[in-house]
Amino acid sequence: MRSPRRPLPVLISLAVIASMTAYLVQAQGQSDRGRQWIAGDHHIHSRFSTGWDREQNPPAPILGGDAIYPTPMNALMARHYGLGWMVTTDHGGPNHSQVNLNQAYPELQQSRIVVPDVIQFYGMEFDTPGADHSSLIMPHTQDEAQRLHSIESSFNKREPWPADPSWDTEPRILEALDVMKTFPETPVVFAHHPSRSARGEGEYGLYTPQELRAWNDLAPEIAIGMEGAPGHQAAALNPDGSIDANGPRGGYGNHPTMGGFDQLTAIVGGFWDSMLSEGRDWWITANSDSHVHYSEGGVDFWPGEYSKTYVWAEKNYHDILDGIRGGRLFVTTGDLITELHVTAESAAGQAHIGGTLEVPADESVTITIRFLDPDTSNHHGDNPSVARVDLIAGEMRGRASDPATDTHPETEVLARFTEADWTVDGNYREVSYHFDALPSDHYIRVRGTNTAQLEPELDPRGEDPWSDLWFYSNPIRLHAAD
């Protein structure tokens, strides 16, 4: 917001906050009955992310050649580390569509029987034409395997043998999205590690802003976001848990992550905010990208051990995917928090993470942030505490004229809250911010950290990932009605 029109915060009495909270909890329970925050991970590899015996023609897949764990083991470890949903996402290679269809999918079906209390989606790490990797998450249907096979066999850029460069072009991902749009129940696509191939801040490698906009323009209910925090967060750990001084978090060896998050997410007023300023559904996630655990010589945590994506949903396939598609998501690392409720309320109603609120002219809006900072040890044996929560806002102006736009300078941190500002209710913390009036369409989002960093800093090689924890919400949109 530009300063001349910025509404000023006003103090709200504890009694008003308590009354408001009771009302919001009751109202949310009525509208979202049965929903809860469910942690998950949409980027997990199994032994069917294969190596290749290139002495044979065509190359023969080698199970466990890249990732090593059976799908049921991934599911068991996901459950152990507190996940209620996951997606199996093996990447491809020459004729890998047959590996997925004939081997990986049957093992997933077995895993669903062995670990029924973890919702297990079928998907793949799509070797994206003209780009890097992406999650392809299939709706749970009777023909889910055939649907994925049709996409992988026709569009995965590493599928043909001999290799065919014509499969690795940007128009082909748009063609694939067009095909996905014809499915009776459409899948979801998230761009993976979007800046891993970039060599500096504001630079681009295999992904560009115009490319991601083109996906979302063509298929706004399918291409809906990107990894905010990439996997491979244990890259700075040796097998015994000591620090590898040369290990880059996230595998970002060219240009580092920022607080464990990709620069496209972490920079206030950067690419993510430019997408949100257009009113796009463009969400962020966090996941493990699990291949091989660091204790066995890999660079990964188990699913849920370090990164979690929480979805507000009933615990079933349909509502979890609906929550993902609708942006009812927040992400956290190191179990810094386990619940996050952000509510925007005016006289006209209320909205929560991923939602939209119509605000009548001259009506005030109150933002309430309530989070659960658990008084328990995380999976490193630490009990981290939230040191600060930031409320971030930006004006929504409609679609950018230049698809290469990667900034939104009007985005700002409206308020920074610390322990001195929030009320305490057991392990819950709560704080509010008040807009006297909404001058124009805006979005708001929330982040928090256990550090003293005002903005997430570049992660040096050899940084202990457990020392630098953050959480981020997806946005709420506020429309100023005439």
d(CA 59, CA 71): 23
Q: How confident is the model at residue 15 (pLDDT cuts 50, 70, 90)?
A: very low
d(CA 286, CA 31): 27
Is 30 a residue whose pLDDT tops 50? no
Q: Which tens digits make up the pLDDT trace of 416-460?
A: 999 999 999 999 999 999 999 888 999 999 999 999 999 999 999
Q: How confident is the model at residue 348 (pLDDT cuts 50, 70, 90)?
A: confident
For residue 3, the model assigns a pLDDT of 32
| % of the chain at pLDDT higher than 70 | 93
d(CA 97, CA 76): 25
d(CA 251, CA 248): 5
Q: Do residues 86 and 78 make contact, with C-beta atoms less than 8 angstroms apart? A: yes
d(CA 181, CA 187): 8
> What are 100's strand-pairing partners?
none
Q: Which tens digits make up the pLDDT trace of 77-125?
A: 999 999 999 999 999 999 999 999 999 999 999 999 999 999 999 999 9
Q: Which tens digits make up the pLDDT trace of 40-71?
A: 999 999 999 999 999 999 999 999 999 999 99
Q: Which of 120, 124, 185 is nearest to 155 (CA)?
A: 124
| % of the chain at pLDDT higher than 90 | 91
Q: Which domains does the chain have, with CATH numbers?
A: 3-480 (3.20.20.140)
Beta strands in 303-411 (DSSP E): 307-313, 329-333, 339-346, 349-352, 356-359, 365-372, 388-395
For residue 73, the model assigns a pLDDT of 98
Is 2 a residue whose pLDDT tops 50? no
Phi (first) and psi of residue 217, to 5 degrees: -60, -45
Residues in contact with 329: Cβ distance below 8 Å, sequence separation at least 6, in sequence order: 283, 284, 285, 309, 310, 311, 312, 323, 353, 354, 473, 474
For residue 33, the model assigns a pLDDT of 74
Q: Which tens digits make up the pLDDT trace of 117-174?
A: 999 999 999 999 999 999 999 999 999 999 999 999 999 999 999 999 999 999 999 9
Is 470 a residue whose pLDDT tops 80? yes
Q: Which tens digits make up the pLDDT trace of 169-191?
A: 999 999 999 999 999 999 999 99
Q: Is 22 exposed, middle or buried (0-12, 13-18, 19+ CB in 10 A)?
A: exposed
Q: Which tens digits make up the pLDDT trace of 218-238?
A: 999 999 999 999 999 999 999
> What are 370's strand-pairing partners?
341, 430
For residue 19, the model assigns a pLDDT of 37
Per-chain mean pLDDT for the chain: 93
Q: Do residues 249 and 307 make contact, with C-beta atoms less than 8 angstroms apart? A: no
